[in-house]
Amino acid sequence: MKKHNVVRYLQGKIYGCLLICVMFALGACPTWAAPKDSPWGGDYFPNIELTDQDGKKHKFYDGLIKDKVVAINFIYTHCGDSCPVETANLKRVYALLEDRMGKDIFFYSISIDPKHDTPRVLKEYSERFKVGHGWTFLTGKKADTILLRKKLGLYNSEGEKKLSDHNTNFIIGNDNSGRWVKKTPYDEPMTLAWALGYSLSKNKIMPGGKHAKYTDAKPLPNINKAEEMFRYRCSSCHSLGRGSGLGPGLYGVTLQRDRTWLKRWIKEPDKMLAEKDPIAIDLYNRYNKVLMPNLRLNDSDVEALIDYLDSTANPNRHAH
């Protein structure tokens, strides 16, 4: 028995090492990317040249991440699914850290489609999302950005036959400490802001200046799947009230729109825009041409989400 336990232990260690190598390596594991006992630095990160939305040139390591706390994601501006959600969610994180953006915290969104995403196109995209100082949109040679994604562990190792196959995760890190963490577009904004503003930033505190106590924590609410979907996939652009954000407020939307139309709009907005559906086109133009993302929801998810939206405006309707 002991022999088998030892074998399983060694196998686990080997598989763990291989996994780390696949995520971060182009021929070597991250531990060997810099001198022993020192954080990852210029010897690991490719110092490729990138161009920002204003046409200014930057070296990736020397000009963008050296000595900084950063969030880096990869997008393409005509993406109709994950990219708008990721950008919208990062904008909420940005709002929580706004007083530090461009000072000691920086966001970088790098295009994976340089042929389409020229500096002018990137500038228009950033303006649609009303992005402020400290968040830079960049493009570069395709081979260079693929190399960078591989180094950051953000390249789909199974291959990318089309742009929509790209890895939708992003990475946050601190060059000085050598700490890097992979995140998803659907992580809670406050958690991401805490990681960037406090956990990765030594001797920094979050707005308010006080540490919360566990004894002061409120009980977690009981939320159903539909509410969870709304919180993590919809609330970056929409509120449940009448106020507009990147998209319209959704109060009473189930009373304003035909249910059949609403179901299709939630499930396949990209197809409706391609078909020039008049309501879809009106919403697209009215809300600064920010694409409604296709969240790849199934029919039951869509039905549950619509019922949830209906219940927020009509609390008595679903009381029984």
| Binding site listing | 79, 83
Span between the terminal Cα atoms of the chain, in Å: 56
CA angle, residues 124, 285, 101, in degrees to nearest 5: 40
Those residues whose C-beta lies under 8 Å from the C-beta of residue 65, and which sit 6 or more positions away, are 45, 72, 106, 108, 173, 175
Q: In what order do the strands lie in the sheet with 57-59?
A: 57-59, 49-52, 135-139, 105-111, 69-75, 170-174, 179-183
Residue 239: other Cβ atoms inside 10 A: 15
The C-alpha atoms of residue 221 and residue 219 are separated, in whole angstroms, by: 6
Nearest Cα to Cα of residue 288 among 134, 125, 81: 125
Place of tokens 């182009």: 26
Read off the tokens for 318: 């679903």
- Please state, in angstroms and rounded to a whole number, the distance separating the CA atoms of residues 140 and 162: 18
CA dist 153 and 72 (Å) reads 12
Residues comprising the binding site for Cu cation? 79, 83
Beta bridge partners of residue 10, listed in sequence order: none
The tokens describing 85, both together, are: 């959600």
